A and B are shown apart, each in its own frame.
Chain A
Amino acid sequence: MGEYADLKHIMNPRSVAIIGASQNPEKVGHVILQNYFDVGYSGKLFPVNNSYEGRILGLPVYKSVLDIKSGVDLAVIAIPAEHVAEVLTECGKAHVKGVVIVSSGFSEVGETERQEKITEISKKYGMPVIGPNCLGVMDMRSRIDTMYLPTFKLDKPKIGSVSFASQSGAVGSLILDVISHEGFGLSKFISYGNAAVVDETDILNYLAYDKDTKIIVFYIEGAKRGKEFIDVAKKATKIKPVIIIKGGKTSAGASAAHSHTAALAGSAEAYDAVFKQFGFVEAEDMDELIAYAKIFDTQPLTTGNRIGMITNGGGMGVLATDAIYKNGLVMAELSEESKKVLKGSMPPIVNIRLPLDIGGDADDKRFAAALDTVSSDPNVDALIVITLFQTPGADSRVASMLIHRSMESKKPIVVISPGGSYTQVHKDMMESSGVPVYDSEDLAAKSLKALIDYSKYKNRMI
């Protein structure tokens, strides 16, 4: 881990100084401080402001970080860009262990010299810096939250094991808002902005070895240190799935190329190649990103692509069958043994073959009987259960049965349940208990495909 920035003092600090803390509720420095109270941070908090005396939110204000005698693990800097270097130097002198600079006005507006100064100071004091021009970090367990987004404007996700890193603050906050309505929870969130010091390679390395992170989700626009990024990725993707989405993929290829190859191997293609070659799970859009996080968070890995499909609606079974073949998966062939058991347990109207259409009147018992036989069939690697709650037989008992079976299953199970408010209630029930539920058969199939591809990569010896 040595050559990459250690973020442990930033993610789990015992004390935090907020430089630029303000009495004015409309200022970023106020919102950040307020948020610490809202999320219940239990470490020490030190508001710092060189032009304000007295107290902010009941805490005594310091003129400089150098005045804080008990030591500071993390400093959050939220002051105008032109004063950042000076304050950062003070942090270095005060032996602050990590810094987040939320201020903007650096390389993103052409102020590259100002940003280089930040890099220089960080190096001089060996002090990791996240930012500038970023939202900063959030850790659901240590309750650290450097973001300046008012808590009431943004739903916060529950505690979980998916960690999310984003170059872009906007994409980052949007994701937080969106995933708070999904079944899975968040471990850590890092928005790293201009990456003057800590970049995607450091973050990938940190999250790869972080025990509270089971899945890494990354939004990147570019990797600053391409070769190091690959070195870290090779190890990271063997440890845990890394779901990645790349912004800015439509850029034109190299224009000064002399060969077909150089014309065909543009920057976007190179990123694609790296993602494929080094085991990333690549998402094309936000929907895929959420869909993949959902399946990786809850389901066991499998390298087989034979799907056992059960449905209580014939037409949806046909659509989902198309979707699995379109995504390189195949329908399993039931074993003779399974067929015999199903003939006994299913009513005569049920055709004993996959996809197994158990009929619109199927209740939880019929679902359970079908699921038990299909999931234990040695020809089946993974299951898709289409549960249409619009039918007379499907109710909360079906959802509850699926939750139980899913917990015990050694094979991945995904549910497809499109529908309105009655369906939504059951979807929420299942998702919050670890069953990935999809509205669309295409996303369900893509998610299984992503899971299988990653499993193959992980199992590979060479």
Chain B
Amino acid sequence: MRFSYPSLVLLLVIGALPLATTSPYHLTVAGLALIFVILAQGTNLILGTAGQASFAHTAFFGLGAYTTAVLSTRFNFPLWATLPIALVLVYVVGSLLAYPALRVKGFYLALVTLAVSEIFTAVVGEMPGPLGGTEGIAGIPPFTFGEWSADDRLSKFYVVWVGAVLACISIERLHASHFGRVARSLRDSETGASAVGINLVTAKVRVFAVSAVYMGFAGVLYAHFMQYISPTSFGLNITILVVSMVVIGGLGNTLGVLVGALTLSLLPQWTRDYVGLEPLLYGGLLVVIILLLPEGVVPALRDMLRPRRRTEKSS
């Protein structure tokens, strides 16, 4: 199976966390970091790999979360039913949204998709019925598979960890597949892509919808992991945070996005003593990375190590 070793090592280290601590707090932080990994990988697919400036990811994240939350709390649907329903719904909505949204490019696409995210949270917040309005939905059941239920924090953490591993493996497989080649061709030259017979509209819609599925998957995991959701979980701050994870790690680089997502998810743990300064730290880090390492941290590190390896070989 094609999967980069550094990604595997990072995920194994996170998976081994319970050997060091079983504190519910630490496991919650680590579980959320893994959910952000999935969200960032999905965002990277459309933003980094295919080069489409889409910022609708939190809407799909929220759609996945709300779908499973409503179905499981109001209709007692089990996870094996809510998960596929949520993913199919996100794919369909993603496809339908992509057709009009992808008629515009660059800055305009960014604005349209950002508006979609904002409209989603506004609409959900204004619907108190089954969606819970601003109060959200509480009492979402934990992950349940048949007779087994992830009632404790450790079990929930491992379900999310398995989800993140599957998402990372599948996204790397996608990158190496025909789908990935097509997505990358869209970013670099639409004329070149047309010249090799790629239908630009179909290709963009597919990439948009598939990336939405990853975000929806992250949403499903989030809902059953936290067992509570509200519109604030899917606000503009999450949109900006996820884009920062992708940009800092390295646009289009799956390992970079993994590193970026883990770093920015865990950063608040080291800056807890400086309450209120987090936005400044995020912003500052983002500005520094964009100015000094515009391709992201991981691609920059890879480029720095490459000549050294050659020198070592030749010496």
Chain B binds chain A: no
